[in-house]
Every structure is written in C-alpha cells, then in structure tokens.
Amino acid sequence: MTGMSNDDLFSRHPTRSRSSARAKVIDQDGREIYGGTDPFGAGGFGGESFRHGPSGFAFDFSTAFRPLTREERLARLEAIARLLDVAFVVPGTNIRYGIDGLIGLVPVIGDIITTAISLWLVREARALGAPWHITARMLGNVAFDGVIGLVPVVGDAVDVMFRANIRNVRMLRRWLDKQPKV
C-alpha cells in the first residue's frame, strides 16, 4: 500500500471506488464453496449488497430479499446441513460433528431445536418440488434422528454418526439432478 497515508486508509471518501474483491470461502477439503456471492441470497460479502457510503456502511436490501434460484436454495440447504452435521472435526480423529451434536447435548430442548431445524429443511425440499416419497423418507430420517437424540449419551453419539440432514440433502440433490432442467 505505497502512497497511502493512514488518513486515507481510515477516512470515508464517498468518491472512492469500493473494492472489487469477492469473498471466497474454502471448505475443509479445499473446495471452493462459493465465490463472489453469498449462498444465502444477500448478493455478496464485498460486492453489491454491502457498500461504503458517505454516511458509513450501507446494506442494499434490494438484493437481499430477491427470490432465490433453485440452485441458490439448494446451496443454502447444503450449507445448513453441513453446519448441522459435519462442520467440525474432533481433534486427532476423523470424526466429524456439527452444531446438531452440540445443541443435542442439552437434554430434550436441544433435540427439539435441532429437529425443528431439520423439519425446516424438509419443508424447503417440499417447496423445491420434492415428491411425497422423497419427503416421507426425509421425515423418517428426521424422526429417527430426533427420537434417538432423546436417549442420553448413547443417543447423542448415534446422532453425530447418523447425519440425517446430510442424508436428506443428498437425497434431494439426487432427485433434483434426475429432473429435467427448466
């Protein structure tokens, strides 16, 4: 950053062009999850939805609440499923767990919360057009995950290994891949 003083770095210039750098998120396997746009539909971290204006930072809500495409909705479901089921690794092992396993440690209430989130994923699958036999299997996975999670200690271990949300999103993805492109 040659030629810029500290005053230039920290002052708010409405005429200064914003950075064209895009957010790039890499998962633990080294694959790019998304680049440039937020999979949750906000339009981008460093891009068009969050910008620097004369009165400070401003958020452009016109891109945040636009209807999501099918691929964006599916990317959001996959990101939530990964967060719930495989976001973290037990140090020194290959055992992966997510916030589902952590929240599930709180007796009853934790399992109710994670089951509700899993049911929302099934609802989104139905909104994407998944047929009854796919959603029935997804509901079976959620029910098994919720009931087993209620059993103290052993249920939490099985809950971490079963990964109902990842199974459900994979099932939905396989079904969507077989459908004709619109």
pLDDT digits (tens, 9 = 90+) for 122-181: 999 999 999 999 999 999 999 999 999 888 888 888 888 999 999 999 999 999 999 887
52: phi then psi, degrees, rounded to nearest 5: -100, 120
Would you kindly state where each structural domain of the chain is located, as residue ranges? 16-64, 70-178
Tokens of 77: 């479901």
Q: Name, in order, each residue with C-beta under 8 angstroms of 110's C-beta and a sequence gap of 6 or more.
A: 103, 104, 149
Rounded to whole angstroms, the Cα distance separating 164 from 125 reads: 14
Q: Is the pTM for the entire model greater than 0.75?
A: no
Residue, of 71 and 34, whose pLDDT is higher: 71
Least confident of 22-26, 65-69, 101-105, 164-168: 22-26
Check whether 74 has a pLDDT greater than 70: yes
What is the percentage of the chain residues whose pLDDT exceeds 70? Answer: 64
Report the distance separating Cα 54 and Cα 120, nearest Å.
Answer: 40
Question: Does position 68 have pLDDT exceeding 70, yes or no?
Answer: yes
How many residues make up the chain in this entry?
Answer: 182
